[in-house]
Amino acid sequence: MSTDRNADGIDETVAVDAERLRSDLERNAEFGAIDAEEGRGRTVLTGTEPNRRARDYLVDRLEDAGLGVSVDAVGNVVGTWTPDSADPDAAPVAAGSHLDSVPEGGIFDGPLGVYAAIEAVRTLQESDVEPTRPVAVVSFTEEEGTRFGGGMLGSSVATGYRSVEDALAATNDEGTTLEDALAEIGYRGEGRLEAGEWDAFLELHVEQDTRLEERGIPVGVVSTITGIVHATARFVGEADHAGTTAMADRTDALAAASEFVLDVERAGREFAMESGTAVATVGQSHVRPNATNVVPGAVELGVDVRDVEAATMDRLLERARRCLARLEADRGVETDLEVELEVEPAPMSERCRGALAAGADAAGVESTSLHSGAAHDAMYVSRVTDAGMLFAPSEDGLSHTPREWTDWEDCATATRVLAGAIARLAGE
pLDDT higher than threshold 60 for residue 5: no
In this prediction, residue 18 has a pLDDT band, given cuts at 50, 70 and 90, of very high
**Residue ranges of the domains in the chain?**
18-225+345-426, 227-343
pLDDT higher than threshold 80 for residue 256: yes
For residue 149, the model assigns a pLDDT of 81
Dist CA 142 CA 380 (whole Å): 14
In this prediction, residue 15 has a pLDDT band, given cuts at 50, 70 and 90, of confident
pLDDT tens readout for residues 324-374: 999 999 999 999 999 998 999 999 999 999 999 999 999 999 999 999 999
pLDDT higher than threshold 60 for residue 2: no
For residue 9, the model assigns a pLDDT of 42
Task: Rounding to the nearest 10 degrees, give the CA dihedral for residues 158, 163, 168, 171.
Answer: -110
In this prediction, residue 227 has a pLDDT band, given cuts at 50, 70 and 90, of very high
pLDDT higher than threshold 80 for residue 127: yes
For Cα atoms 151, 58, 15, give the angle at the middle one, nearest 5 degrees: 105
* Average of per-residue pLDDT across 16-29: 98
Dist CA 294 CA 231 (whole Å): 27
Per-chain mean pLDDT for the chain: 96
pLDDT higher than threshold 70 for residue 192: yes
Q: Which CATH class is domain 18-225+345-426?
A: alpha beta
In this prediction, residue 123 has a pLDDT band, given cuts at 50, 70 and 90, of very high
What's the predicted TM-score (pTM) here?
Answer: 0.92
pLDDT tens readout for residues 258-300: 999 999 999 999 999 999 999 999 999 999 999 999 999 999 9
For residue 14, the model assigns a pLDDT of 62
pLDDT higher than threshold 60 for residue 424: yes
Express as a percent the part of the chain with pLDDT over 70.
Answer: 97
Q: CATH code for 227-343?
A: 3.30.70.360
pLDDT higher than threshold 70 for residue 3: no
pLDDT tens readout for residues 141-155: 999 999 998 799 999
Closest CA to 388 of 344, 419, 351: 351
